[in-house]
Amino acid sequence: MGKTIAEKIFEAHLVDRPAEDVWVLSLDAVFCHEITTPPAILELVRRGKDRVFDPARIKAVIDHVTPAKDGKTALQGKILRDWARRHGIRDFFDVGRNGVCHVLFPEKGFVRPGYAVVMGDSHTCTNGAFGAFTPGVGTTDLAVAILKGVCAFRTPRTMKITLSGTLPPGVFAKDAILAVIGRIGVDGATDRIVEFDGPAVEAMDMEARMTLCNMTVEAGATCGICRPDEKTVDFLWEFIRGDFADRKAAAAAFRRWWPDPDAVYEQEIAIDVSGLEPLATFGYKPDQVKPVRELAGTPIDQVFIGSCTNGRLSDLRVAAAVVRGRTIHPRVRGIVCPATPKIYAAALREGLIEDFLQAGFCVTHPTCGPCLGMSTGVLAEGEVCASTSNRNFNGRMGKGGMVHLMSPATAAASALAGAIANSPLFPGTRRTP
């Protein structure tokens, strides 16, 4: 019987089957940040087990609140920093070199096709874009992963989502994943791995595929996953060139992780993206999705462009193109957060930062802060934010605040309008509210 991508990765990493439906997998890498890792470190220290299974396979970053905003966040950073030092964890990224984990770690080449990786963060699923199994886990799973290099999962069940057609101009991977979540619901993929397929996914660059996989957890998925292809090879080439004769050879080797033609899927869903229009959320759940035109005119107080969903260079390029030469609405506080120093530097070179500053945006250092209401952009009671992030939960960006999720193009257009608005990049709708 044919296998899905996840089934192939599970078989290649099997350590133990402690029960009929449970697989304990060995891990190629364990990713860490300063919110969920310190409690794991403290627990291991308390138990007299302050060890790491392999310092070269552990990658750590301070990204949620950085630079520290108070004594508590300073302590979280210190616990992670001291731990990385005493265990010789070389790939540790602190102020000046740090960025949003799910953007930074792929950028550093830490995720490869066929890998099994865990991190104490639900959006670790982003990394599945590389053809890897990369579920988010809790702190106890993380502690065991750090100590033993293993993690337990149920027998993988895969849901195949085929995106056919071509994304229209002004419609992006963010709109596609919002459409998927709107269709299957916030528990539509619970305990399942979402394997993406189809010409629209093939046409996406790696950044778009990461956006796609990033929000699979909002449908309850364990992980999103894409076939590794030539685009995966190109993205990773500087890190893997020593391992393969040429790019073609690398792409051929990665086909090992493609699903078999007769792979068995628990469920298959097909969406033609050609008919999609820009989407945004309207409630407190990521599956509450409507066309932007139906939400047009909803007043906003803040716009946030950034996060592990949409803080990459391609996102900043699109947003800058929308605001270039214009000024954001005087009532709107605009926040742009390049996800890593490399992206920040590239945006500077390309003049994007200048575009944002001229338009009246504040450009912050790389951090996760605003997305989860921890720093640099917390909402007050009753305030509304148009955001390119991934969660619109009650209080997510600040107690009593409201979040509308959307693409960078829509967020940028909304900043100009002072209300939710479609971007001119989408020619389908020019109607003003």
Binders in 101-160 for another protein, by CB under 8 A: 120-122, 124, 135-141, 143-144, 147-150, 152
We find the least distance from the C-beta atom of residue 307 to another protein, in angstroms, to be 13
Bridge partners of residue 75, in order along the sequence: none
Greatest CA separation for the chain: 64
Q: In angstroms, give the least distance from the CB of 192 to another protein.
A: 9
Residue with tokens 């010789």: 88
Does residue 187 bind another protein (CB under 8 A)? yes
Q: For another protein, which is the closer residue by CB, 170 or 373?
A: 373
SS3 231: helix
Q: By three-state DSSP, how is residue 97 classified?
A: coil
432 near another protein (CB under 8 A): no
Output 35 or 353, the one with its CB closest to another protein.
35
| Interface of this chain with another protein, residues 352 to 381, rule: CB under 8 A | 372-374
Single out the residue of 20, 238, 262, 381 in contact with another protein (rule: CB under 8 A). Answer: 20
Report the distance separating Cα 63 and Cα 77, nearest Å: 9
Rounded Cα distance between 173 and 167, Å, is 8
Site size for another protein (CB under 8 A): 67
Q: What angle do CA 368, 104, 373 make, to 5 degrees?
A: 5
Q: Which CB, 14 or 357, lies closer to another protein?
A: 14
CB of 391 to another protein, least distance (A): 6
Identify whether the C-beta of residue 233 lies closer than 8 Å to the C-beta of residue 251.
yes
β 289-291/279-281 pair status: antiparallel
Considering only CA atoms, which of 315, 303, 275, 311 is closest in space to residue 420?
303
Q: Decide: 301 and 401 in contact? Cβ < 8 Å.
A: no
User: Per CB under 8 A, does 174 bind another protein?
Assistant: no
Q: Quick check: 320 binds another protein (CB under 8 A)?
A: no
Question: What is the C-alpha to C-alpha distance for residues 422 and 419, in angstroms, rounded to an integer?
Answer: 10
Whether the Cβ atoms of residue 201 and residue 212 lie closer than 8 Å to each other: yes
Helix (H) or strand (E) holding 24: strand 22-26
From residue 39 to residue 58, the character string flagging contacts with another protein as x (rule: CB under 8 A) and all else as - is: x--xx---x-x-x-xx----
Does 65 engage in binding with another protein (CB under 8 A)? yes
Check: CB of residue 125 under 8 Å from CB of residue 225. Answer: no
Question: Quick check: 266 binds another protein (CB under 8 A)?
Answer: no
Contacting another protein within 297-316 (CB under 8 A): none
Can you give the binding site for another protein, defined by CB under 8 A? Answer: 13-16, 18-22, 24, 26, 35-36, 38-39, 42-43, 47, 49, 51, 53-54, 64-65, 70, 72-73, 75-76, 79, 120-122, 124, 135-141, 143-144, 147-150, 152, 186-187, 190-191, 217-218, 220, 222, 284-285, 372-374, 391, 393-396, 399
